[in-house]
Amino acid sequence: MALLENLLLVFVAGLITALATGIGALPFFFFEGISDRRNVILWGLSSGIMLSASTFGLVEEGLAEGTPLEIAIGMAAGVALVVVAHDVLMDTDIDPQQYETADFKKLVLILGILTVHSFPEGVAIGVSFADLGLEGGTQFLGFTVPVLAIFMTIAISIHNIPEGTAISIPLRSMDVANWKLVWWAVFSSLPQPIGAVLAFGFVRYAREFLPYGFGFAAGAMIYLVLTEFVPEALDIGERLPSGGKPELAGGIVVGILVMVPLTFV
């Protein structure tokens, strides 16, 4: 029974982060769009949060559980998964049927790529709960929850908000209804609770793989920041003064500073 309760708690944590993605679509209920400057700042904020969570959370915890080599192997595996999944997705032959070809393909790629992004984040949540119920955690609803799990759940929830905005912008240009924007945003992150439960179950009962799990999640997220989030922000900020680099750098710094205090809890 305890196992089912633990799995349910991990699933709920992953679901919370997925639902947070929908918050990113809410501004479109009140505004027609979001300025390029604010969008770049949001991507920078998201990048800073994920870099901070990966470095000060996952990598640091992984080094406490295993060797640098184990972390490095895990990180390489995380990067490889994202690269392969992205390549497979981009090469997929899509039958748009009754939909207009370009728009439908764009929609599928946007949803698919963000879904590929969300699974490693779910893995990060799952491995952060590895010490659930053990000593040294924080009491919450009768559970002893690891501080790292709280850290990662908060970090990924905050990070998911700009992702929800990112997916809503092109969908809004396709005249998708506002309430559907929220649905599609949440849908793109639904692999997170699934990935969280699978990762938790694996590392909980195969603890010798825990350092690899921490490295896997960190590697995937750092790679996504460097190859997807930052380039996306620079592409959006291309028309801004200095190419949006000051806004991006400012967002990254704020994102890191927001999460650093949690590392000392």
pLDDT attached to residue 53: 82
pLDDT attached to residue 113: 60
pLDDT attached to residue 11: 94
Which residues in the chain show pLDDT less than 50? 93-102
As given in the structure block, the two tokens for residue 200 are 């938790």
Q: pTM of the full predicted structure? A: 0.74
For the chain, the structural domain boundaries read 1-264
Question: Rounded CA gap, 156 and 218, in Å?
Answer: 12
pLDDT attached to residue 102: 45
- The answer to whether the CB of 185 falls within 8 A of the CB of 167 is yes
DSSP per residue over 49-67, as a string? HHHHIIIIIIIHHHHHHS-
pLDDT attached to residue 95: 42
